[in-house]
């Protein structure tokens, strides 16, 4: 009886756990038994491995092979364990030595011909291997670029099982294969051409977008069709500064897990995710029966989740966003496992004011009955709207605005970015040591405690609260926005003017 061991990674969300792959040869007729909670695609690995080993010029032992994936209690998914199982089997047939593979993580799917095929989730898997103190990881050659994004661990790319076995000293004929390449690379090319300057009129909405970008506030745009809601929302992501290295790594890990294509470089630009309004709650936050895949809110992490025609989304889909908006995380529970994904996104909602779209539009008449109109915006539930700091009306362009736009352009994206960066820096300095980065994250009691403003400045707010026109939560939200306005204006604290403006920027609903 000989037991051989090597390592692989089981991913649960973005979290990876090192799995020991053990092989034991028993005195029974040839067969491969795979134990340790494999799913269907993992269970099928034995057929791929039998064929791949044969086509690599090697042979499986002529006894029953028991492969155990420990810890046996956590569920394992997918085809990424193929290489580890194949390599460990080759120890039992005395082709390679047990010491050579014991401390190395092996990742990759095997084709029947013995070539190594790319798998999703390489980036988080390699990162997990590094965190667990693994020194070396063997990956399919198509995933080599992605694996190399993690520093501090030796990455060995290989194109076939034959190559891996020969690397470990197996006496096999050299077989040349055409290496499997990535079929699709997730490109991180920056969007060119959409400039904030293209937006005509709508100065409120432009200011709202700049404030939202500077302070990390959620934004709601209400306006008739053709008033530039989508135009502003699409330019919004460009206003945001580049991600920090940790954020970029997390965003890239999510792309890797989602399997939308290979990741070959870190994604430093904030992502924009715009799901269609027919999206289900599962599409929104994530789910699925076999592997738990990340949803739109998760993919928008560190970026923007843009819901166009927000009122057309189902109520459950919209309300499924409340948990991530509050905690910045999504937790999905299944009978056997529960997965946590990051979901720190900025929410941008756009909607018509009523079903016909013409309410409040100049020159056209709304045909909706009052009750229908009222119900329309009520589809955005109170708790959801409560988390949206900025609520702004957009308007259709007038000829006067068009003429003015021809003569003098508004603020360009580059200029706006500059202002936003400066404002963020000011906020970061002020918030140093608190753990908060942006104004939108600040807790209310801090605003009313340590960062308390003079009575004189908050007078209008206090009166509104007294009269019941705003809630306590609304009070805090207005304060947050006014701090962002102060940061943008270069002031040390918001004054009456900023508070007045903050109230104005949330009064559309």
Nearest CA-CA partner of 206 in 395, 477, 421: 395
Query: What are the helix and strand counts (H, E) for the chain?
Result: 22, 18
**Range in contact with other proteins (rule: CB under 8 A) among 29-37, 110-118, 183-191, 452-460:** 29-37
For other proteins, give the closer residue by CB, 27 or 189: 27
Minimal distance in Å, beta carbon 162 to other proteins?
19
- Burial state string for 373-383 with b = 16 or more CB within 10 A and e = fewer than 16: beebbeebeee
CA-CA distance, 65 to 68, in Å (whole number)?
10
Q: Which residue in the set 29, 40, 289, 492 belongs to the binding site for other proteins (CB under 8 A)?
A: 29
Nearest CA-CA partner of 311 in 380, 368, 224, 367: 380
**Range in contact with other proteins (rule: CB under 8 A) among 23-31, 265-273, 276-284, 302-310:** 23-31
31 interacts with other proteins by CB under 8 A:
yes
33 interacts with other proteins by CB under 8 A:
no
**Range in contact with other proteins (rule: CB under 8 A) among 28-36, 376-384, 410-418, 493-501:** 28-36
**Range in contact with other proteins (rule: CB under 8 A) among 25-33, 107-115, 233-241, 422-430:** 25-33
1 interacts with other proteins by CB under 8 A:
no
Indicate the SS3 state at residue 418.
helix
Residues 228 to 287: which contact other proteins by CB under 8 A?
Answer: none
24 interacts with other proteins by CB under 8 A:
no
* 298: its two tokens: 């998760």
**Alpha-carbon radius of gyration of the chain:** 28
Nearest CA-CA partner of 414 in 192, 87, 84: 192
47 interacts with other proteins by CB under 8 A:
no
For other proteins, give the closer residue by CB, 23 or 292: 23
418 interacts with other proteins by CB under 8 A:
no
For other proteins, give the closer residue by CB, 64 or 329: 64
Minimal distance in Å, beta carbon 1 to other proteins?
12
- What one-character DSSP code corresponds to residue 240? S
Instruction: Kindly determine how many residues on this chain lie close enough to bind other proteins according to the rule CB under 8 A.
Output: 7
189 interacts with other proteins by CB under 8 A:
no
63 interacts with other proteins by CB under 8 A:
yes
For other proteins, give the closer residue by CB, 29 or 183: 29
Minimal distance in Å, beta carbon 72 to other proteins?
22
Question: Tokens 């957009």 map to which residue?
Answer: 394
By the 8 A CB rule, do 367 and 327 touch?
A: no
Measured in degrees and rounded to the nearest 5, phi and psi for residue 200 equal -100, 135
CA-CA distance, 473 to 226, in Å (whole number)?
33
CA-CA distance, 469 to 26, in Å (whole number)?
77
371 interacts with other proteins by CB under 8 A:
no
28 interacts with other proteins by CB under 8 A:
yes
For other proteins, give the closer residue by CB, 27 or 371: 27
Minimal distance in Å, beta carbon 114 to other proteins?
17
333 interacts with other proteins by CB under 8 A:
no
Q: Which residue in the set 35, 43, 47, 62 belongs to the binding site for other proteins (CB under 8 A)?
A: 62
Residues 149 to 168: which contact other proteins by CB under 8 A?
Answer: none
CA-CA distance, 250 to 269, in Å (whole number)?
12
For other proteins, give the closer residue by CB, 93 or 202: 93
Indicate the SS3 state at residue 349.
strand
- What one-character DSSP code corresponds to residue 398? P
CA-CA distance, 86 to 106, in Å (whole number)?
10
For other proteins, give the closer residue by CB, 33 or 403: 33
Write the Ramachandran bin of 426: left for phi over 0, alpha for psi from -120 to 50, otherwise beta. Answer: alpha
- By CB under 8 A, name the binding residues for other proteins: 27-31, 62-63
């Amino acid at each position: 009886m000989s037991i051989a061991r090597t390592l692989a990674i089981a991913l649960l969300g973005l979290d990876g756990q090192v799995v020991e792959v053990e092989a034991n040869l028993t005195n029974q007729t040839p067969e491969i038994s795979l134990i340790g909670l494999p799913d269907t695609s993992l269970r099928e690995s034995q057929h791929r491995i039998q064929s791949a080993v044969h086509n690599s010029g090697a042979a499986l032992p002529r006894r029953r092979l028991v492969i155990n994936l420990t810890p046996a209690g956590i569920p394992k998914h997918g085809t990424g364990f193929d290489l580890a199982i194949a390599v460990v089997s080759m120890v039992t047939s005395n082709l390679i030595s047990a010491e050579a593979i014991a401390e190395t993580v092996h990742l990759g799917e095997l084709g029947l011909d013995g070539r190594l095929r790319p798998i999703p989730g390489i980036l988080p898997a390699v990162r997990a291997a590094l965190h667990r103190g693994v020194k070396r990881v063997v990956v399919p050659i198509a995933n080599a670029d992605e694996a190399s994004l993690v520093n501090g661990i030796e990455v060995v790319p290989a194109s076939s099982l034959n190559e891996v076995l020969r690397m470990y000293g197996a006496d096999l004929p050299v077989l040349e294969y055409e290496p499997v390449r990535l079929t699709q690379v997730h490109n991180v090319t920056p969007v060119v051409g959409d400039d904030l300057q293209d937006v005509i009129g709508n100065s409120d909405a432009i200011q709202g977008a700049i404030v939202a970008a500077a302070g990390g506030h959620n934004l709601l745009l209400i306006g008739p069709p053709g008033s530039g809601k989508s135009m502003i929302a699409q330019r919004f992501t460009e206003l945001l500064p580049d991600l920090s290295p940790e954020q970029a790594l997390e965003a890239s890990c999510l792309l890797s897990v989602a399997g939308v294509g290979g990741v070959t470089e870190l994604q430093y630009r904030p992502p924009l995710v715009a799901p269609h309004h027919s999206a289900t709650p599962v599409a929104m936050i994530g789910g699925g029966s076999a592997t738990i895949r990340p949803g739109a809110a998760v993919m928008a992490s560190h970026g923007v989740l843009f819901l166009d025609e927000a009122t057309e989304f189902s109520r459950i889909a919209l309300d499924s966003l409340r948990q991530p908006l509050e905690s910045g995380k999504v937790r999905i529970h299944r009978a056997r496992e529960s997965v946590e994904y990051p979901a720190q996104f900025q929410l941008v909602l756009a909607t018509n004011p009523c079903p016909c779209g013409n309410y409040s539009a100049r020159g056209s008449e709304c045909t909706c009955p009052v009750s229908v109109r009222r119900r329309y915006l009520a589809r955005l539930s109170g708790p959801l709207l409560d988390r949206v700091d900025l609520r702004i009306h957009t308007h259709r362009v007038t000829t006067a605005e068009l003429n003015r736009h021809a003569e003098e352009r508004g603020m360009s994206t580059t200029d706006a970015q500059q202002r936003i960066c400066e404002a963020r820096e000011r906020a970061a300095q002020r918030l140093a040591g608190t753990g908060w980065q942006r104004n939108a994250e600040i807790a209310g009691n801090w605003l009313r405690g340590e960062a308390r403003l003079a009575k004189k400045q908050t007078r209008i707010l206090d009166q509104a609260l007294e009269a019941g026109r705003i809630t306590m939560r609304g009070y805090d939200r207005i304060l947050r926005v006014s701090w962002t306005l102060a940061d943008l204006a270069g002031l040390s604290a918001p004054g009456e003017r900023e508070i007045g403006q903050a109230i104005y920027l949330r009064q559309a609903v």
